[in-house]
Amino acid sequence: MTTAEQTTVVPTGTWNSDPVHSSFGFSVKHMVVATFRGSLTDFDATLTAAEDGTARLEATGRVASVVTADDNLTGHIQSPDFFDAERHPEVRYVSSAIAVDGESLVVQGELTLKGVTKPLELRGTIVGPAAGFDEGLKLGVELEGVIDRTAYGLNWNAPLPTGGFAVGNEVKLSAHLELGKA
Amino acid sequence: MVVLGISGSLRADSHNTRLLRAAARELPEGVEFRLLDGLRDVPPYDEDDDRDPAPAAVARLREAIAGADALLISTPEYNSSIPGQLKNALDWASRPRETSPLRFKTVAVIGASTGAFGAVWAQAELRKVLGASGARVVEGDLALGHAHQKWDEGGLLDDDVRGQLRDLLSQLVAEARPADIAA
């Protein structure tokens, strides 16, 4: 623990994500050379901090809201080759430990995706609280993490004629959260 | 629980159709087996014809798939891939994607050939097509090579192959049962 003047705790209270001003996305290498970005639009995140300084982050996303610009691709992504939205409609993250050092934020926790639960560390920033228009307090939280999609059973791939595969296994996750105090 | 068998071969004395009939005898108790009839009648896929109402043979195909809890598809191998008529039928069944009866349908793939390998390349192609169509393809498989030598005088397979079929079918049925769906 630091003894500097910087904040080392999440501001006390329950902080809920604003669905309009928050986003969750992922990016993965496509055709070896390019980066494909997708988003999961229907999710909610709650950050809870107790008086004793302990904090907890929980987030749940609905797989049905993973959409792309192509209906056929969206359908394939929803299918058992990828997310299997029928049997695993939700993806979930629950923290086990949160460390704050000034604006730096490190979250230890577990990601459950397609029925598989694995540890995942997220790193980013926490800024605020700041007063909003409606006098409610706002926190800004940005977090990133990296997963191997095949560890969660999202295994689809296709070899390319000149070598390599169509989709990378490493997937970067990023959340940009505007959290309002409940 | 209904398992629909689809043979990729149209000929009357097809090894793949026989393999499906053999599989029907190895299904767990209480599971009904239906063999798809009418693959031959499915017209060539044409987006201009893919409208409501669908061509009669296509409507029957889609209804047969929709009415089954799981599919067991047995394919021969033509030029290292699946027969055109089977691919054509799956293309019809896969559309429109939102209402496709193949979407999230549990499927097992098997194959028979008179060569040594039991249509393994065709089976791999079939798995790819089914996956792209949104189906749930179970891991197990069965490749019946030298199929013309595998039937005894009573038209039955040996115990080893029957055991493989039983294992695969129990996997198929377990995967398709809604009670086993995880949260």
**In terms of DSSP H, where are the helices of chain B?**
15-24, 56-66, 84-93, 120-132, 159-176
Nearest one of B138, B166, B181 to B29, comparing CA atoms: B166
Distance from the Cα of B149 to chain A's closest Cα (Å) equals: 35
Average pLDDT, chain A: 91
CB contact under 8 A, B97 and A81: no
Pairing of β A43-49 and β A55-62: antiparallel
Q: Is the separation of the CB atoms in A125 and A175 below 8 Å?
A: no
CB contact under 8 A, B134 and A76: yes
Tell me which chain B residues have a C-beta less than 8 angstroms from the C-beta of A79.
Answer: 103-104, 131, 133-135
Residue B80 and residue B116: Cα distance in Å, rounded? Answer: 13
pLDDT number for residue A131: 86
Q: Which of A60, A63, A84, A87 to mutate to test the interface with B (most CBs of B within 10 A)?
A: A87
CB-CB: which of B136, B181, B183 is closest to A80?
B136
Q: Which fold has domain B2-180?
A: Rossmann fold (3.40.50)
CB contact under 8 A, A80 and B97: no
- Decide: helix, strand or coil at residue B14: coil
* Average pLDDT of the residues in A113-135: 90
pLDDT number for residue B26: 95
Nearest one of B76, B16, B31 to B172, comparing CA atoms: B31
Distance from the Cα of B13 to chain A's closest Cα (Å) equals: 34
In chain A, where the domains are located: 19-181
Enclosing H/E stretch for A82: none
At B8-26, the pLDDT tens digits run 999 999 999 999 999 999 9
CB-CB: which of A71, A81, A86 is closest to B131?
A81
Stretches in chain B below the pLDDT threshold 50:
180-183
B102, closest residue in chain A (CA to CA):
A79
CB contact under 8 A, B134 and A84: no
Task: Give this prediction's pTM.
Answer: 0.85
CB contact under 8 A, A75 and B134: yes
Tell me which chain B residues have a C-beta less than 8 angstroms from the C-beta of A155.
Answer: none
Q: Which residues on chain A place their C-beta less than 8 Å from a C-beta of chain B?
A: 71-72, 75-76, 78-81, 84, 86-88, 115, 156
**Interface predicted TM-score (ipTM):** 0.79
| Amino acid type, B76 | P
Residue A53 and residue B62: Cα distance in Å, rounded? Answer: 58
CB contact under 8 A, B131 and A88: no
Q: Is the separation of the CB atoms in B7 and B82 below 8 Å?
A: no
In chain B, where the domains are located: 2-180
CB contact under 8 A, A115 and B132: no
pLDDT number for residue A2: 45
Paired with A47 in beta bridges are A15, A57
pLDDT number for residue B54: 96
- Second CATH level (architecture) for the domain A19-181: Beta Barrel (2.40)
* Average pLDDT of the residues in A133-140: 84
Cα–chain center distance at B15: 13
What's phi and psi for A157, nearest 5 deg? -160, 170
pLDDT number for residue A1: 47
Query: Is it the case that residue A126 has pLDDT exceeding 50?
Result: yes
HEC-encoded secondary structure of B33-77 = EEECCCHHHCCCCCHHHCCCCCCHHHHHHHHHHHCCCEEEEEECC
pLDDT number for residue A68: 85
- Decide: helix, strand or coil at residue B10: coil
pLDDT number for residue B178: 62
